Chain A
Amino acid sequence: MSNQEMLDTLRDTVVTQNINGCAEATQAALDAGLSAVEIINDGLSPGMKIVGDKFEAAEIYLPQIMMSAKAMNAAMELLLPVLEEEKGNTDGVGLAITYVQEGDIHDIGHRLVTTMLEANGFKIVDMGVDVPNEKVAEEVSKNKGKKLLLVGSALMTTSMLGQKDTVAMLAEEGLRDSVKIMFGGAPVSDAWITEIGADATAENAADAARVALSLMQ
């Protein structure tokens, strides 16, 4: 199989939600000498891009997109240790710190956005759900100086309120200029983003990846 054929197979296993197939194709590509970065950028990511486009076009829905994300994750498990070894390629397009606001445990959107960002070349620090603002500020502080993106989600209107405090806290600690901030979740609107002084929001996970990339320009 040529390298291009292997990359096409990787792409297709993501699109067709073939979890085992995706992991096998990833191992085969590694064995054939492709780098982890090539596998992600030229195989898996184009697959997730197609999945995102199909989701936006209402051709597929959450069940399929979650299965594709699972296929992608199966590949990433094999690739992460290899990425660590491939020196100089670990920064990618930026470092994204993703989390769900304190008081909120709804993580479907968070997980999809994290996966899409990873698929688009971001290095990820996934802080999980119900994360207090102090922890967020700590993580930002720790990574100060890198190309940094903070990605917070909140599904509940009550936890969305905490996003305002997140921005305020980062400003107080002199960290606001060190990081771009995106917030998402059902109740988050452009008006809210403006009001609290964040940088952007997005319509869905595919859109979030596009917006994230443009923020990093």
Chain B
Amino acid sequence: MSEYTPKERLSRALTGQSVDRMPAVCVTQTGTVEQMEACGAFWPEANSDAEKMATLAEAGHTVVGFEAVRVPFDITAEAEFFGCEIKAGTKEQQPSVVGHVVKTLEDIEKLKGYNLDHGRIGVVCDAIKILADKYGEELPIMGSMIGPFSLAQHINGDEWFMAIFTDEAFGLALMEFTTDFCVAYAQKMVENGADTMVIIDPTASYQLIGAEFYEKFVVPFHKKIIDAMHEVNVPVVLHICGDTTQGLALMESTGVDAISVDQNVDAAAAVANVEKAVIVGNLDPVNMLWNQTPETIREQSQKVIDAGIDLLAPGCGTVSKTPTVNLQAMIEVAKSHKY
């Protein structure tokens, strides 16, 4: 007999309370082709249709066995919302941002006064509502969004990395803008039933920008989102790509509940570099989860758990071609682990 519902278990695990065993969740994107074929909701339609999005998210639980449901499957809806040109995705590939809309402070002003019901932002919120109505009592409902730094990069283009170096006033103004949006969007997801927030901020990586830029252009802005979520008792998971080992203390200084690390990070070093943040990760989505056998995945999962990882999960977004049995091998190891 299970002591907790999956919802209670994850919530407790993320906030440092005792649990009966490890929850089996994936904080990064969950959609795979096998799930699409099983549930009939395919990319790219599932990125822009709330019913299909909810159906494919649900498959992460019903087909694969994750103890949570999570939307969306990509990180371009936010940039699209502000008018950035998007290269459409396919059944196997996520969409990507190809056009950028902000060059100057005046451009930022023009984007203000938006309505969150519009575009795929509204779709994600509707999908959360569908999932929360169906599973809200039992399963964690994870809402995910791009973080403010990577959104700024999407909106401004690759010039963004130079802007934070050469034009601090512009850099900080764009961060204010994207952060205000992220706070409002996260709050709306929570109103619709999300109980766990995931911030995916891939390019706010310590490996790319170092301590000085991270402290100035990321920490205060992540803190603002996290504070807003804590006000409504929603725990926050932060995922950032690359070798973030040396940046973990800075990342944790925002008050974030959990930090998801990728396969470039040594799990034991990650755990040693935080005070109380829950470390999530970090099976290689390509060379392990996609391309290895369930047996190898079980072995590696056990290694990562032995290294002290708090929540076993993919180190980055699940590759769409990943076999379900491979994900299930990871889930099995997570579920059998008692802390």
Name A's B-contacting residues (CB within 8 A).
17, 58, 60-64, 66-67, 70, 103-108, 111, 130, 156-160, 186-187, 189, 191-192
Rounded to whole angstroms, the CA-CA distance of A156 and B285 in the bound complex is: 11
Shortest CB distance A107–B (Å): 7
Q: Which of B50-58, B88-96, B125-133 contacts A (4 or more CB under 8 A)?
A: B88-96
Q: Taking A61-B210, A105-B96, A158-B320 as contacts, is the C-beta distance between A66 and B287 under 8 angstroms?
A: no
**Contact between B87 and A105, CB atoms less than 8 A apart:** yes
Which residue of B is nearest A204, CB measured?
A: B207
**Contact between A66 and B161, CB atoms less than 8 A apart:** yes
Q: Which residues of A contact B96 (CB under 8 A)?
A: 104-106, 156
Q: Is B241 on the interface with A (CB-CB < 8 A)?
A: yes
Rounded to whole angstroms, the CA-CA distance of A204 and B87 in the bound complex is: 26
**Contact between B165 and A158, CB atoms less than 8 A apart:** no
Rounded to whole angstroms, the CA-CA distance of A70 and B164 in the bound complex is: 15
**Contact between B209 and A62, CB atoms less than 8 A apart:** yes
Q: Which residues of A contact B269 (CB under 8 A)?
A: none
Most buried by A among B96, B164, B246: B96
Which residues of chain B (152-176) have a CB below 8 Å from chain A?
158, 161-162, 164-166
Contacts A/B (CB < 8 Å), 9 sampled: A63-B161, A67-B165, A103-B93, A104-B96, A105-B97, A156-B96, A157-B290, A187-B286, A192-B286
Q: Which residues of A contact B241 (CB under 8 A)?
A: 186
Q: Which residues of A contact B285 (CB under 8 A)?
A: 157
**Contact between B210 and A58, CB atoms less than 8 A apart:** yes
**Contact between A191 and B209, CB atoms less than 8 A apart:** no
**Contact between B286 and A158, CB atoms less than 8 A apart:** no
Q: Is B177 on the interface with A (CB-CB < 8 A)?
A: no
The number of residues on chain B lying at the interface, defined by a beta carbon within 8 Å of a beta carbon of chain A, is 26
- Closest CB pairs A-B (n = 9): A63-B165, A61-B210, A158-B93, A62-B208, A187-B286, A157-B319, A63-B161, A62-B161, A61-B209
**Contact between B92 and A158, CB atoms less than 8 A apart:** yes
Name B's A-contacting residues (CB within 8 A).
87, 92-94, 96-98, 158, 161-162, 164-166, 208-210, 213, 241-242, 246, 285-287, 290, 319-320
Q: Taking A66-B161, A106-B96, A158-B92 as contacts, is the C-beta distance between A189 and B213 under 8 angstroms?
A: no
Q: Which residues of B contact A187 (CB under 8 A)?
A: 286
Rounded to whole angstroms, the CA-CA distance of A157 and B94 in the bound complex is: 10
Q: Taking A103-B93, A108-B158 as contacts, is the C-beta distance between A67 and B166 under 8 angstroms?
A: yes
Which residue of B is nearest A155, CB measured?
A: B96
**Contact between A61 and B166, CB atoms less than 8 A apart:** no
**Contact between B161 and A107, CB atoms less than 8 A apart:** no
Shortest CB distance B71–A (Å): 20
Rounded to whole angstroms, the CA-CA distance of A111 and B157 in the bound complex is: 14
Rounded to whole angstroms, the CA-CA distance of A9 and B242 in the bound complex is: 35
Shortest CB distance B198–A (Å): 19
Which of A58, A104, A108 interacts with B161 by CB under 8 Å?
A: A108
Which residue of B is nearest A160, CB measured?
A: B286
Which of B94, B158, B209, B242 interacts with A156 by CB under 8 Å?
A: B94
Which residue of A is nearest B208, CB measured?
A: A62
Rounded to whole angstroms, the CA-CA distance of A153 and B150 in the bound complex is: 20
**Contact between A107 and B94, CB atoms less than 8 A apart:** no
**Contact between A156 and B93, CB atoms less than 8 A apart:** yes
**Contact between B213 and A61, CB atoms less than 8 A apart:** yes
Q: Which residues of B contact A63 (CB under 8 A)?
A: 161-162, 164-165, 209, 213
**Contact between B286 and A189, CB atoms less than 8 A apart:** yes
Rounded to whole angstroms, the CA-CA distance of A157 and B314 in the bound complex is: 14
